[in-house]
Structure 1
Amino acid sequence: MHASPSAAALHTLHGETMGTSWCVKLVASPRADSHVLHAGIQQRLDRVVAQMSNWEADSDLGRFNRSAAGSWHRLPEEFFEVLSYALEIARDSEGAYDPTIGALVEAWGFGPAQHAHAIPADIALSTARADAGWQRLILDAEKSSALQPGRLQLDLSAIAKGYGVDLVARHLRDIGIAAALVEVGGELYGYGRKPDDSAWQVLVEASPDEDAVDATDPRVIALDGIAIATSGDHWHAFEQQGMRYSHTLDPRTGKPVEHAPAAVTVIADDAMRADAWATALTVMGATAGFELAQSRNLAARFASRTEHGLREHMTDAFLARLPA
């Protein structure tokens, strides 16, 4: 499906997955069958849902969550890959990101049961916290298996979208698509060049207050073999008794993140990493998150609310990605 620059056309495809939308722009022959391309993309995203969705009761993840204490489960290749990396992020972020907080997500009303958002009772919160804990999850790499220690509830929603982006990009490369921009729910990965030989360019996503940041900085990122993901407190939240509760939970406290940055954007080699780290750094907050990102050479941008509007600060690695 390779297309020479002179014969290349830009195709734009859309669909739905994981409770959100996807969009793929790709360069191929004008005669390329868009229905075949669309089906191939949707099939990869459907595979992620079938394996890792909390919202599909018969997903591999759903079956693991319902399984008996002490039982081992051989996981599909993609599921095991994501779970293995999720545990790496959990360790490296000292638990700011934790793929085992499914019960906590449910307790706060952000899960598939979709009960009303409300502050959970103390007993419900303590039970959900006791059931969580990334250190409880044991993996066997040789057998691609995971041990259910009992009542552990996986939730990969902060990493699965990013992985879906990567899986689609991998598929497109495999079938000979020389350039594409893949987006799922705001997580993006781009590679190659458009028909006019320009790079894929995206504006860093942030909060509705973004215009409070110095507008002279365009924050435009060229994506050529890299991914970008943004997390923040304005996408999902609820209010109760005058307090605003973010959908981003702090696994270390079992409660929504307090004083979360308005937005945290991470650039990485793949969307899975960008997605998970954006969540981890949001949980850690603008100060501790920035320090960790800087020490690990992560390309991260924080937009934080202050009484004077949004305050923006970027790690050295992020600044290096901005246009000169």
Structure 2
Amino acid sequence: MQTARVLVPQRIATRAPALGAQVHALQGATMGTSWSVRVAGPRALALAPVAQAIQQELDLVVAQMSPWEPGSDISRFNHAPAGSWHALPAAFAEVLACGLQVARDSDGAYDPCAGALVDAWGFGPRQRHDEPGFASPDDAAVQAACAVSGWQRLETGPQGVRQPGGLRLDLSAIAKGYAVDRVVQRLARSFGLDDVLVEVGGELRGEGVKPDGQPWWVALEPVPRWHDGAWQVDVDPVPTRIALHGLSVATSGDHRRFFARDDRHYPHTIDPRTGRPITHGVAVVTVLDASCMRADALSTALTVMGPQAGLPWAAQRGIAALFVTRCADGGLDDHVTPAFAALE
């Protein structure tokens, strides 16, 4: 019988837990999903200002980077005329810079400039796949979206970024991870709370330890199988537990957002290089990294690459990644990079 997989960081801080601390739980809503935070702090910790600070950080990310908000900075850029230059707020500029670096490194497997493709396949804020009348884009529509997409089209300079015409930025595959990092930093900076577990839409980062000296243990969600028209989880899946101590975990999966047409599943992960949803059978890619923003972007890039190209690419860069693929018989198979295996 296979036992649970347990992952622990290779570097463990020696700081002892604070005497008399207890774990406080907070939660709320953002980015069309939920957030939750656990902090180890004094028993008399005033939670209202902590929750307000958390929401402020999340609202800032939405105001700058949500294409669902017509007045956001990203929406204004996406609808701006060709040739116009746009100065970006610091947070937006930081996320875009990270996204562009991953795009360059991955030869476009992840691309923050593929918003037109996201919209064409019904995963953007308009003409969504779950709305009446939606139809999958034909070849001409895919080619048209590809023509206005691509990180190479985006010009950057001292003035900010230049809209070349029709380019739509989409930071959905990196913004939640960045929001997690911002919340962790704000809790430490404003309240001296260094022992925290922060989660936004399934992306997590843990820092420090709980009052009992234990790390923040989390379990990866079991990967479901498609059976009888619905996602189903094995009765007794083998768990993967991770000690999030100075680590973030981000996961990209084919079952979270998708639509089905003519007995085919179209996951929300689109290969910007082909303009179409991935078809190579990757169910889930999980990445561990100190930065949740980076882990978020890398999990998408590796999902697009698939294990054949993604495993050696990640191994060469020391990325801790787990690939779970779907087999022809309906089973699941997994593959890990050396950096991931080193945590076991």
TM-score normalised by the shorter chain: which range applies?
over 0.9
Equivalent-residue separation in structure 1 for 2:139 and 2:326 (angstroms): 30
What secondary structure does 1:264 align onto? strand
Write the deviation string for residues 8-44 of structure 1: whole angstroms up to 9, x where unpaired: 1110000111111000000111111111110000000
Q: Residue 109 of structure 1: SS of its match in structure 2?
A: coil
Identity rate of aligned residues, in percent? 52
Query: Any idea what SS the aligned residue of 1:177 has?
Result: coil
Partner of 2:137: 120
Letter in 2 for 1:204: L
For the residue of structure 1 that corresponds to 2:96, the secondary structure is helix
Partner of 1:154: 169
Q: Distance in 1 between matches of 2:89 and 2:78?
A: 15
Consecutive unaligned residues of structure 1, counting only runs of 5 or more, are: none
Distance in 1 (CA, whole Å) between partners of 2:206 and 2:39 is 10
Structure 2 stretches lacking a partner, 5+ long: 1-15, 226-232
Of 16, 19, 38, which residue of structure 1 is paired with 2:32?
19
Which residue in 1 is equivalent to 2:255?
234
Q: CA RMSD in A?
A: 1.7
Tell me the number of residue pairs that the alignment of Structure 1 and Structure 2 aligns: 316
Is 1:193 the counterpart of 2:209? The answer is yes
Q: Secondary structure at the match of 1:104?
A: helix
1:259 Cα deviation after fit: 2.3
Q: Does 1:5 align with 2:8?
A: no
Whole-angstrom CA distance in 2 between matches of 1:229 and 1:223: 12
Assess if the C-alpha contact under 8 Å between 1:206 and 1:262 holds in 2. Answer: no
Instruction: Check if 1:291 corresponds to 2:306.
Output: no
After superposition, residues 6-155 of structure 1 pair within 5 angstroms as 6-116=19-129, 117-140=134-157, 142-143=158-159, 145-155=160-170
- The aligned counterpart of 1:313 is 335
Evaluate the alpha carbon distance shift between residue 305 and residue 260 of structure 1 in structure 2; reply closer, same or farther with a 3 A threshold: closer
SS at structure 2 position matched to 1:7: coil
Structure 1, residues 248-293: CA drift from partner, whole Å, max 9, x if none? 1110111111124110000011100100000000011121111211
Q: Deviations over 1:171-195 (max 9, x none)?
A: 0111200200000011000001101
Residue among 139, 150, 165 paired with 2:180:
165
> Structure 1 CA distance, aligned partners of 2:294 and 2:240?
20
Give the distance between the partners of 2:222 and 2:177, measured in 1 at CA.
17
Q: Work out which structure has the larger RCO, using CA pairs closer than 8 Å and 6 or more positions apart in sequence.
A: 2
Q: Deviation digits for residues 109-160 of structure 1, max 9, x if unmatched? A: 11101434531133322211101010011222x45x1111111100000000
Distance 1:213 1:114, change over 3 A: farther
Quick check: 1:179 aligned with 2:192? no
Corresponding residue for residue 277 of structure 1: 298
In the alignment, residue 8 of structure 1 is paired with which amino acid?
A: A
Please report the TM-score for the alignment, with normalisation by the length of structure 1: 0.94
Structure 1: how far apart are the matches of 2:271 and 2:166?
19
Write the letter of the residue equivalent to 2:45: A
Alpha-carbon distance between aligned partners in 2 of 1:190 and 1:35, rounded to the nearest angstrom:
21
Letter of the 1:113 counterpart = R
Q: 4+ runs of 1 displaced by more than 6 Å?
A: none
2:324 matched residue in structure 1: 303
Q: Distance in 2 between matches of 1:283 and 1:24?
A: 30
Corresponding residue SS for 2:101: helix
Shift of 1:226: 1.3
Return the TM-score normalized by structure 2: 0.88
The change in CA–CA distance for 1:183 and 1:80 in structure 2 (over 3 A counts) is same
